[in-house]
Amino acid sequence: MTTLHTEIRARIAAAADRPDAQGRIDGLQLYRARAPEPPIPLIFRPSLYLVFQGAKRLLLGDREVAYREGDLVMAGVDLPALAQVTEASEQAPYLAVEIALDHRVLGALAAELPAPPPRPSQALTIQPLPGAVHEPVLRLLRLLDDPVDARILADGVKREILYRVLTAPEGDILLDLVRADSVLARIGEVTAWMHGHLGTPVDVDHLAGRARMSVTSFHRSFKAATGTTPILYHKQLRLHEARRLVAVKDASLAQIAASVGYASPAHFSRDYKRAFGAAPQVDAKRFS
């Protein structure tokens, strides 16, 4: 193991549980787990996810994705999933860095690079972590030591990391996100619309029209990209948003149910318990 890799691990472990460090650089999230964990429901955001120790898996509908130390996970659209740390200990904790994708920066870089050849679109891919990424990642982590350095320099370092990923083998997969005619970009437009209309019943014909595809092609492409159907995807988004509202106690449970499109609180409670293992009333107490 290189000295550089050792310092990256040490800095992730030191900063992961510090709220001041976690919020110091926009779009940067650090992860540490000291033991394997049960599956946790979450939304895997468009990001670069770099694993420096341990192993984890995602359950995306009927698809399971495993990754471990030395892997780079690239997510292009929001993906409701179950995430589980599978390899971690006190001596060797799970350690990872997540960098949110900035589509504006990605688009600017894409304009400077040759257009990639067409390829099948995937919303989530796993590649070996490019060696050229390690040094700028370490510089980004060092910026957490000084809030002024972080504010002034972090955006440039994040841009360099994205560039290093884009110019590595298979990195041009990310360019599908900003090619307006790509299948992944069109699926991304639809998932963004679904995010903004959680309380609206979804109609697959309407969604296919937004994606500029036939219904059959849209359904096939959507499931290939996200691991689930459009209807189930929207339902998962609604329930994740409901859980966020339960946690922050912004409204009554009946109001939360209505805000994410449930006419029946009882139906909402059943679906919520099926998704998260506890009824919303129980979760509300857990979050208090």
210 burial class (0-12, 13-18, 19+ CB within 10 angstroms)?
middle
Write out the DSSP string of 244-266: HHHHHT-S-HHHHHHHTT-S-HH
User: What is the model's pTM?
Assistant: 0.84
Structure tokens at 207: 């969604």
- Distance, CA of 130 to CA of 169 (rounded, Å): 8
| CA separation for the pair 84, 38 (Å, rounded) | 6
Residues 237-273 as b or e (16 or more Cβ within 10 Å = b):
bbbbbbbebbeeeeeebeebbbbbbbeebeebbebbe
Residues of the chain with CATH 1.10.10.60: 183-287
Estimate the crossing angle of helix 134-142 against helix 3-15, to 10 degrees: 40
Strand, helix or coil at 96? Answer: strand
For residues 168 and 139, what is the distance between their CA atoms, to the nearest angstrom? 19
- The residue among 152, 141, 32, 7 whose CA lies nearest residue 91 is 32
Number of Cβ within a 10 Å radius of residue 160: 17
The string over 91-100, giving b where at least 16 C-beta atoms fall within 10 Å of a residue's C-beta and e elsewhere, is: eebbbbbbbe
What pLDDT, on a 0 to 100 scale, did the predictor assign at position 119?
A: 62
**Domain 183-287 top-level CATH class:** mainly alpha
pLDDT score at 174: 78
pLDDT, block means (10 residues), the chain with 288 residues: 89 87 89 93 90 94 89 89 94 96 86 71 85 96 94 96 88 72 84 90 93 93 87 92 83 89 91 88 77
Protein fold of 3-177: Jelly Rolls (2.60.120)
pLDDT computed for residue 27 by the predictor: 93
Q: Are 176 and 188 in contact (CB under 8 A)?
A: no
Task: Write out the residue limits of the CATH 2.60.120.10 domain(s) in the chain.
Answer: 3-177
